[in-house]
Amino acid sequence: MPKLRVHNFPMSLDGFAAGPDQSVDNPLGVGGMRLHDWVFLTKAGRAMMGEEDGSGEEGIDSDFIARADDNVGATLMGRNMFGPIRGDWGDESWKGWWGPNPPYHHDTFVLTHHRRDSIEMEGGTTFHFVTDGLEAGLERAFAAANGKDVRLGGGVATVRAALRSGLIDELHVPVVPVFLGAGESLFDGMADAMMAYDCEQVVASPRVAHTRFVKR
């Protein structure tokens, strides 16, 4: 059975997976980029961002980032992960945070309450907009993945909703030793939902402690 997987969804030691007040200048909320600093030091992370010189560190962190793409045929994400715009799409000039060639390279479904036509990007990514909810989005993503797994990209609210519904099969949370002080909590109030999951792996690089959960 194809799986719904969450990878590289980092959390601060004070429990936040995104900073507060997301905006064009702060796609991950204020301070949220600190959760991702380690990604940009890795070989796989730099390659994902379009760096072609093969630079960056190999090792545990890089392996986790690379593994996130293994056997993934489609991506699903909440609207805030796609952009800072709330409400109507306006002039439709917003095409995601990632520039002309987003790091997905497959059909990518965005949950939203507002209709919009699909956008074909460079590199194989096509953004589709799903207006009838998480489970409908999943259905479309699994159909597009054509037997492969679906990656749930985020954001925090979407991951929490999917965990609460027991829809996520695998969850990888890198715990980053920083303190954001405010933002979107990943696990607050989630203890009951997490009873359906076993911790399969705890492993650390000198920068990040990776935890991986799988549905029982």
Among 35, 81, 145, 180, binds its own copies (CB under 8 A): 180
Concatenated DSSP letters for 34-51? GGTGGGGGBHHHHHHTT-
Is the Cβ–Cβ distance between 123 and 90 less than 8 Å? no
Q: How far is the CB of 211 from its own copies (least distance, A)?
A: 5
3-class SS at 176? strand
Give the nearer residue to its own copies in terms of CB position, either 34 or 105.
34
Q: Quick check: 161 binds its own copies (CB under 8 A)?
A: no
Q: Quick check: 179 binds its own copies (CB under 8 A)?
A: yes
Is omega for the bond preceding 155 within 30 degrees of 0, making it cis?
A: yes
Tokens of 57: 């560190």
Region of 93 on the Ramachandran plot (φ > 0 left; ψ -120 to 50 alpha; else beta): alpha
Task: Name residue 212's beta-bridge partners.
Answer: 172, 201
Give the nearer residue to its own copies in terms of CB position, either 85 or 196.
196
Give the nearer residue to its own copies in terms of CB position, either 12 or 108.
12
Q: Quick check: 207 binds its own copies (CB under 8 A)?
A: yes
Q: How far is the CB of 13 from its own copies (least distance, A)?
A: 6
Tokens of 44: 């796989």
Among 52, 53, 120, 192, binds its own copies (CB under 8 A): 192
Give the nearer residue to its own copies in terms of CB position, either 1 or 195.
195
Q: Are strands 11-12 and 170-176 parallel, antiparallel or unpaired?
A: parallel
Nearest CA among 46, 50, 81, 51 for reference residue 61: 46
Q: Quick check: 199 binds its own copies (CB under 8 A)?
A: yes
Q: Which of these segments, 22-30, 131-139, 151-159, 188-196, binds its own copies (CB under 8 A)?
A: 188-196
Q: Quick check: 143 binds its own copies (CB under 8 A)?
A: no
What is the contact surface with its own copies in residues (CB under 8 A)? 11, 13-15, 173, 175, 177-182, 187-192, 194-195, 199, 201-211, 213
